[in-house]
């Protein structure tokens, strides 16, 4: 037996695996209990072919539909992959991960994101949504960068952790409307000067923990497009889309 093979049982003995949300016993570290897992809102059924907005069941397998928002304003991205829709359970996970310093949740959250990704053909750059340096110093880590690192390892693609820079401090965006968010983020994000050349004609997977109105990812896409990126896909753990919650099923 390799000397490191005994570590997991020892760790489990000293720190018994518990659900990070409710504290219930679970089989191993890095997961959720059945009850909490069943309360996640996982997109299913037919989705918009442009933005992956869940459109419910009953459209027939393989049906390619476009949702009303994309028809009204075609997106600039090449697709969105969201592990869950934002509800009470995903919100609790994000808050523990983002503000509760539970960085050990990153591998589990990334594992839930990977199946939602399309096949990434060719070479891609995995780039996290950046934090302003003062926010990074206060929090101690960029939660999107942790997820991006896990996705890069899972897909075998190249991580560019400092590809984008948030050189303008913005106020907290929670509670702001879409237009107010866009105004706050105008000119806030740009390619890192030392990395900008990497984005010329590149395929980019942009990673965030939560996608709300899309204002932050839009600001990132503007910066990446200016740097010459060929296409940008978005991957997030949770997507705020209250109107779609009724069209999804739980993963159990």
Judge if 11 and 87 occupy the same domain.
no
Q: What's residue 62's pLDDT?
A: 56
For the chain, residues with pLDDT lower than 70 are: 1-15, 56-63, 171-177, 246-252
Q: Does residue 5 lie within any of the structural domains? A: yes
Q: Does residue 252 lie within any of the structural domains? A: no
Q: Does residue 140 lie within any of the structural domains? A: yes
Contacts of 59 (CB under 8 A, 6+ apart): 45, 46, 65
Q: Does residue 51 lie within any of the structural domains? A: yes
Q: Does residue 152 lie within any of the structural domains? A: yes
Distance between CA atoms of 205 and 216, rounded to whole angstroms? 14
Q: Where are the beta strands (DSSP E) in the chain?
A: 80-85, 124-128, 158-159, 164-166, 189-191, 203-211, 231-239
Judge if 30 and 52 occupy the same domain.
no
Judge if 30 and 49 occupy the same domain.
no
Q: What's residue 70's pLDDT?
A: 87
Question: At CB < 8 A and 24+ separation, what contacts does 220-225 make?
Answer: 220/127, 220/129, 220/130, 220/164, 220/189, 221/76, 221/77, 222/189, 223/164, 223/189, 223/190, 223/191, 224/127, 224/164, 224/191, 224/199, 225/76
How many domains does the chain divide into? Answer: 2
Q: What's residue 151's pLDDT?
A: 98
Q: What's residue 108's pLDDT?
A: 95
Q: What's residue 176's pLDDT?
A: 65
Judge if 141 and 224 occupy the same domain.
yes
Its pTM stands at: 0.87
Q: What's residue 15's pLDDT?
A: 55
Q: What letter would DSSP give residue 117? A: S
Judge if 97 and 177 occupy the same domain.
yes
Q: Does residue 206 lie within any of the structural domains? A: yes
Distance between CA atoms of 36 and 41, rounded to whole angstroms? 11
Q: Does residue 221 lie within any of the structural domains? A: yes
Which residue blocks in 140-185 are alpha helix, DSSP H? 143-155, 178-185
Judge if 126 and 152 occupy the same domain.
yes
Judge if 124 and 154 occupy the same domain.
yes
Judge if 114 and 172 occupy the same domain.
yes
User: Each residue of 170-195: b (16+ CB within 10 Å) or e?
Assistant: beeeeebeeeebbebbeebbbbbeeb
pLDDT digits (tens, 9 = 90+) for 44-67: 778 888 888 887 666 555 557 888
Distance between CA atoms of 229 and 204, rounded to whole angstroms? 7
Give the bridge partners for 159, in sequence order.
Answer: 126
Q: Where are the beta strands (DSSP E) in 30-152?
A: 80-85, 124-128
Judge if 117 and 208 occupy the same domain.
yes
Judge if 3 and 53 occupy the same domain.
no
Q: Which domain holds residue 189?
A: 45-247
Percent of the chain clearing pLDDT 70 (strictly above)? 85
Judge if 115 and 225 occupy the same domain.
yes
Q: Does residue 83 lie within any of the structural domains? A: yes
CATH for 121? 3.40.50.2020
Judge if 26 and 63 occupy the same domain.
no
């Amino acid at each position: 037996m390799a000397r490191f093979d005994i570590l997991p049982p020892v760790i489990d003995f000293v720190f018994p695996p518990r659900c990070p949300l409710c504290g219930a016993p679970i089989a191993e570290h890095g997961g959720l209990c059945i009850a909490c897992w069943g309360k996640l809102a996982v997109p299913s059924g037919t989705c918009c072919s442009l933005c992956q907005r869940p459109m419910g069941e009953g459209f027939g397998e393989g049906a390619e539909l476009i949702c009303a928002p994309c028809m009204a304003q075609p997106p600039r991205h090449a697709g969105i992959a969201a592990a869950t829709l934002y509800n009470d359970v995903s919100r609790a996970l994000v808050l523990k991960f983002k503000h509760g310093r539970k960085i050990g949740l990153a591998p589990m959250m990334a594992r839930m994101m990977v199946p939602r990704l399309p096949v990434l053909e060719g070479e891609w750059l995995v780039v996290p949504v950046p934090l302003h340096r003062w926010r990074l110093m206060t929090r101690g880590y960029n939660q999107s960068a942790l997820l991006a690192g896990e996705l890069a390892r899972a897909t075998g693609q190249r991580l560019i952790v400092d590809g984008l820079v948030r050189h303008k401090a913005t106020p907290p965006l929670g509670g702001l409307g879409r237009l107010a968010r866009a105004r706050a983020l105008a000119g806030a994000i740009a390619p890192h000067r030392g990395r900008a050349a990497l984005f010329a004609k590149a395929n980019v997977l942009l990673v965030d923990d939560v996608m709300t109105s899309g204002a932050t990812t839009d600001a990132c896409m503007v910066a990446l497009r200016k740097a010459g990126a060929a296409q940008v896909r978005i991957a997030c753990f949770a997507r705020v889309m209250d109107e779609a919650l009724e069209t999804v099923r739980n993963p159990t």
